[in-house]
Structure 1
Amino acid sequence: MCPTLLSLLSLGLCVSLRIWAAVGEYDKPSLSAWPSPMVPLGQTVTLQCHFRSPRKRFKLFKTDGTSLTELHGNHFNTFTLGPVTREHAGSYTCSRFSSSLPVLSRHSDPLQIVVTGVFTKPSISAHPSPLMRAGENMTLRCQSLLGFDKFILHQENSTGHFQRRGQMLTSGHVPADFSIGPMTLASAGTYRCYGSFSHSPYVWSAPSDPVDIIISGLSKKPSLSAQGGPVVRSGENVTLVCSSESAFDQFHLLRDGENLECPLAGGQSSHGTLQAEFPLGPGTPDHSGVYRCYGSFTRSPYSWSDSSDPLFLSVTESTTSTCSSPMDPHTTEEAPLPREHSSTWYIVFGLVIAFTSTSIILAALVCHCFSTQNRKSESGKLSII
């Protein structure tokens, strides 16, 4: 019996519904990496293919140019790579697989797995300074002796992971300069950079040493003072005090613009202000310089207050006497003279030197005059004869 037109239309509609249902069931999955798609050489990374329905099998593929290479058959939810080598670096996708239907779902968006630590680390520096005021511009410079033709700059976020900040192509040993600014609170944080070669875009160097970029001027400045005054003698203990009416969690001390890396928590002073004492130990000439302090809060560790007024600290060399005390002839240590006696001896010693020098000069002049007169008289006598 020949099928009617109505039965053919019904069959076509039924097939269309089945295809639509199949497509809806096999939606596009997503692929993620834990703990991070940036994997140090020798470590492991777990890839997870996400579906609407849990506990489904998937196929994992690695993109090799324009082709896809399937890895190790079917997997449930997760697959672990590692210990990774540079061969593991590349782009990955996943697709849901069902044993009941010979149909794969759509492929996930590609996920790039980067293997770091294959090359030695580059260096990173901040110009003009890692401590900037809001609204200013700064430059982060990455460079290396290996001649990378690409540098990647990353900023650490609050969870400790890295977010891509940018990359720059260079040639030879040319450094890469990343402009940051105008500075805002989002610009502050910890930065590192990596080096790479264009022929291996997913194989990176080890990360550079971190550089902390700090923004200042977002809260009121503290004050800085020195116990006993800003002028001290060598060997005397030096303590700088940073105080503020704001309830800062930490205080930071800088000398000549260099962070001394010794933040201290503040304590309540007798005047009701919050202060932190920075003991520098016995003073030496190396302690001389210009000091400033800042305050910060734990919730915003890269946001500092405005700078305190500068404190000029001067450490002078101490003067000692080479004579033993006349009261104790057995004393072997040199006893320092009091400051006023030391100054008096300097004045007397200077006067003696001046008087002696003047006497010698006068005596020389007198001798010269007498010798001149004697020569004249002798020449006169000879002319008369």
Structure 2
Amino acid sequence: MGGSAVTPIFTALLYLGLCQRQCNQIQAGTLPKPFIWADPGTIITMGRPVTIWCQGSLQAESYHLYKEQVSQLLGMWVAWNFRDKARFSIKSMSPNSAGQFQCIYNSSSGWSERSDYLQLVVTGMYSKPSFSAHPSPIVASGGNVSLLCNSKDTMDTFHLLKEGGAGPPQHRESRFSAGRHQAVFPVDSVNISHGGIYRCYGSFRFSSHVWSHPSDHVDLKVTGTFEKPSLSAHPGPSVTLGENVTLQCRSESWCDTFHLFKEGFIAPPQHLHWQNNTGPFQVNFTMSLVNSVHAGTYRCYSSHSTSPYLLSQPSDPLELIVSEAANTTSLSKHKPDFKSASNSQDYTVENLIRMGMTGLVLVVLVVLLYQS
């Protein structure tokens, strides 16, 4: 794209009749078609600005931008700048700004062919859908995972987008199940290119360029890139309720990030960065005031901060056992039996009374015999 940036002069043809008359006169020519793109991208949040660029030829005299819907021209803008490209600015993105665009240019030789279509989407119109990875956002290389997007709203289409991804968004029609509208995006034979941040959006068929707020993100991590670290518990894997325990993840090869994952736990794994630049490659995950929720099977992974979504092979599993503070059954065996002791004391008093009465009777008998 040669030449310095020059602010173009825009002429807006706002009346549909005028646009249609001129559009009908413009026939696709033999000049090469221009290239069309949007900056910062084609998926724009409501209210944010966006610029549509059309690049043609240095001999271009004018550029025309068309927005189409149901094969009908709705508007046309003309930018005069006598350069190899033209800029068309949208200051505040709205549902009316979204849609399908093409551009052409003309010169003394005639008109160019139309550019490819540019799909411009606005987001933030509806409430965000829910988004999750099944069975887990941590996937072994070569394995399979399903990304589930769902909403209680009656959205009939869902869109899957990978941040920074080179490919276009994926689209799936929704299905109603368990009281929600949902779509499943399967990812088969996972490889390192699948690692990254994913979000999903919902929309309605009658306005396919108007999407919901983005879902919460899912970080898809691919394992098996590096050798497995080791995982150990200190002071041990058996912990008493209310105590503290530390799970130490250690690697023999260089790495600067460690991830702790609990099997069957939906929440994303914990991660810590290696801080000691001279010591061993290890970090400590400390759990305070352990309760029954902490019990389970853990694994850890290592990674490099330059490739945060590529993890090592998993460590060997470590089962954390949480037991109660004391065994009430064994305590009851050693508890003094106050009732039994009381009964024994009562029996002793009775025996003493009986012996006393017997002795008194014997004394009376002796006295009577002596007097006689």
TM-score range, shorter chain: 0.7 to 0.9
Helix, strand or coil: the match of 2:111?
A: coil
2:274 to 266, 275, 280: 266
| Aligned with residue 314 of structure 2, among 302, 307, 326 | 307
CA distance in 1, matches of 2:190, 2:316: 22
> CA offsets, 1:95-130, max 9 Å, x none?
2244xx494322211211111111111111211121
1:91 aligns with 2:96: no
Match of 1:166 among 170, 189, 201: 170
SS at match of 1:175: strand
Note the C-alpha offset of 1:223: 0.9
The equivalent of 1:297 in structure 2 is: 304
The reply on whether 1:36 has 2:41 as its aligned counterpart is: yes
User: Residue 347 and residue 54 in structure 1: after superposition, are their counterparts in 2 closer, same or farther (change >3 A)?
Assistant: farther
Partner SS, residue 271 of structure 2: coil
Aligned equivalents of 2:322, 2:95: Cα separation in 1 = 55
User: CA 1:355–1:311 in 2, change beyond 3 Å: closer, same or farther?
Assistant: farther
CA gap 1:312/1:54 in 2 versus in 1, 3 angstroms: farther
1:212 — aligned with what?
Answer: 219
Give how far 1:136 is off. Answer: 1.6
Counterparts in 2 of 1:123 and 1:345: CA distance versus 1, 3 Å:
closer
Deviations 1:281-313 (A, max 9, x none): 343444333222111122321121121122222
In structure 2, C-alpha distance between the alignment counterparts of 1:145 and 1:260, rounded to whole Å: 24
Q: Does the Cα contact within 8 Å between 2:98 and 2:210 map onto a contact in 1?
A: yes
TM-score, normalised to structure 2's length? 0.73
**Secondary structure in structure 1 of the residue aligned to 2:193:** helix
Q: Structure 2 counterpart of 1:265, which letter?
A: H
Quick check: 2:142–2:191 contact (8 Å CA) kept in 1? yes
Structure 2 match to 1:326: none
Separation in structure 2 between the aligned mates of residue 140 and residue 164 of structure 1, nearest angstrom: 16
Q: Post-superposition shift, 1:224? A: 1.0
Aligned partner of 2:89 in structure 1 is: 80
- Corresponding position of 1:137: 144
- Letter of the aligned partner of 2:273 in structure 1? A
C-alpha spacing 1:54/1:147, structure 2 compared with 1 (3 Å): farther
2:153 paired residue number: 146
Residue 63 (str. 1) matches residue 68 (str. 2): yes
Structure 2 unmatched runs, 5+:
1-28, 348-372
Residues 278 and 69 (structure 1), Cα distance of their counterparts in 2 relative to 1, 3 Å cut: same
- Partner of 1:48, secondary structure, is strand
| Amino-acid identity (%) | 35
TM-score (norm 1): 0.70
In structure 2, the CA distance between the partners of 1:263 and 1:208, relative to structure 1 (3 Å rule), is same
Q: Tell me how far apart the structure 2 counterparts of residues 35 and 269 of structure 1 sit (CA, whole Å).
A: 39
Q: Deviations along 1:335-370, whole A, 9 cap, x unmatched?
A: xxxx9xx99976543xx559949x99xx9xxxxxxx
Superposition pairs of residues 1-385 of structure 1, within 5 angstroms = 26-53=31-58, 57-76=62-81, 77-98=86-107, 101=108, 103-157=110-164, 163-170=167-174, 173-258=180-265, 261-266=269-274, 273-318=280-325, 348-349=334-335, 353=337, 356=340
Deviation of the 1:201 alpha carbon:
1.6
The CA RMSD measured in Å over matched residues stands at 3.3
1:168 partner letter: R
Residues 64 and 256 of structure 1: CA distance in aligned 2, closer, same or farther (over 3 Å) = closer
C-alpha distance in structure 1 between counterparts of 2:55 and 2:153, whole Å:
40
Does the 8 A contact of 1:35 with 1:45 survive in 2? yes
Deviates more, 1:69-78 or 1:178-187: 69-78
Q: How far off is 1:36 after superposition?
A: 0.5
Give the distance between the partners of 1:292 and 1:171, measured in 2 at CA.
35
Question: Which of structures 1 and 2 has the larger relative contact order (alpha carbons within 8 angstroms, sep 6+)?
Answer: 2
When residues 355 and 182 of structure 1 are mapped into structure 2, their CA distance, relative to the original with a 3 A threshold, is farther
AA at the equivalent of 2:129: P
Number of corresponding residues = 308
- Which structure 1 residue ranges, 5 or more long, are not aligned? 1-22, 320-338, 364-385
Paired residue type of 2:57: R
Distance of 2:264 and 2:59 partners within structure 1: 56
CA shift digits 1:216-238 (9 cap, x unpaired):
22322111112222223344432
The superposition leaves residues 148-188 of structure 1 with CA deviations (integer Å, 9 ceiling, x where unpaired) of 2211111223xxx6732421123555421111111111222
Cα contact 1:149–1:169 (8 A) shared by 2: yes
**SS across alignment from 1:119:** coil
Secondary structure of 2:190's counterpart equals coil
CA distance in structure 2 between the aligned counterparts of 1:230 and 1:238, rounded to whole angstroms: 8
| Equivalent residue, structure 2, for 1:331 | none
- Between structures 1 and 2, the one with greater helix share: 1
* Amino acid corresponding to residue 225 of structure 2 in structure 1: L
